[in-house]
Amino acid sequence: MSKTFEELPVWQKSRELVKNIYSLTMVTAFNRDYGLADQVRRACTSIMSNIAEGFERGSNIEFIQFLYIAKGSAGETRTQLYIAHDLNYISDPEFETAYALCKDISGQISGLIDYLKGSRLKGDKFRKHYKSMQDEVNEFLEEFNNQDSKFNKSSQY
């Protein structure tokens, strides 16, 4: 698994989408529709942000929750692209490129969710907890073995 969210291919792809969307929304006609331009920008940056925030939470359960939010934002971005296309703010090729990026990201998020759901590793939060529990168990076993060996020595006489 990746050590930083920046290493995740899905985060990298969502970064590419953000650059693409910002470029599209700078065009005069699209830029004049402040509400739509702002909405599609916020939706696509939400994808990136939620992937990063979920990753940094340190547990697969929380990461999955944030990935579902990111996936929803990918759907919202696609919807905004349809609106922009219908209003002739973006061309067919521009729509197809941005739409394909969104679909790819959505698929990658689904794959990552499935992977995390099936993983036995539950994240750093839990690894630290299990490590401390393992330390406690080892201390208990060591103390038990010491007591047991003392008992066995004294009962031999």
pTM score, whole prediction: 0.76
- The C-alpha atoms of residue 86 and residue 78 are separated, in whole angstroms, by 12
- The C-alpha atoms of residue 150 and residue 2 are separated, in whole angstroms, by 48
Verify that 131 and 89 share a domain, yes or no: no
pLDDT tens-place values along the chain, 157 residues long: 578 999 999 999 999 999 999 999 998 899 999 999 999 999 999 999 999 999 999 889 999 999 999 999 999 999 999 999 999 999 999 999 999 999 999 999 999 999 999 887 666 655 555 455 455 555 545 654 566 556 556 555 4
- The C-alpha atoms of residue 55 and residue 68 are separated, in whole angstroms, by 12
- The residue segments making up the domain with residue 116 are 5-120
Query: What's the CA angle centered on 110, arms 106 and 113, to 5 degrees?
Result: 135
- The C-alpha atoms of residue 85 and residue 80 are separated, in whole angstroms, by 9
Verify that 127 and 95 share a domain, yes or no: no
Verify that 107 and 67 share a domain, yes or no: yes
